[in-house]
Amino acid sequence: MEVIWAPWRMSYIKKAGDKGGGCFLCLEEGRRGPDRDRLVLYSDETVLVMLNLYPYTNGHLMVAPRRHVPSLAAASAAERTALIEWVARASRILSEVMAPSGFNMGINQGRVSGGSVEEHLHFHVTPRYLGDSNYMAVIGETRVISEHILSTYDRLAGRFND
């Protein structure tokens, strides 16, 4: 049997059943701008952009409304516009900095959408690279992330706040 050690996942596992910690997508009232500790690349009064702590590929990020809203239908027109605008900006910035071959983009809405966030609508912007679906993912059911997430953050943060 193969064993892959990932001790950094324990904090996620311990929090999985803990509803007392609040929503990781929600930021404190009045907080704006980047936050390296929370992997927030950009935030303003309407939207936030953050790296996914458990990415599928390098540069995988999320775009969410600042307000804790459960669905696209519940979001205001201004929130929907800002979300789409930032998904487009994020994909442009990722293209310039990380040079992916393409993207997967999708909306997570509700717990059954595949994420661990039940009531906070968010978009995923996942860069895709030629060869990122190699034997490791297909046969070994293992993803290889080739760059530390804080290195990725440091490469991207300035571009989101120009």
Active-site annotation, residues: 122
Q: Is 62 exposed, middle or buried (0-12, 13-18, 19+ CB in 10 A)?
A: buried
98, 58 Cβ separation under 8 angstroms: yes
Distance CA 26, CA 122 (A): 11
41, 98 Cβ separation under 8 angstroms: no
Q: Is 123 exposed, middle or buried (0-12, 13-18, 19+ CB in 10 A)?
A: buried
43, 32 Cβ separation under 8 angstroms: yes
| Cβ-based neighbours of 49, under 8 Å, separated by 6 or more | 40, 41, 42, 43, 61, 62, 63, 86, 90, 160
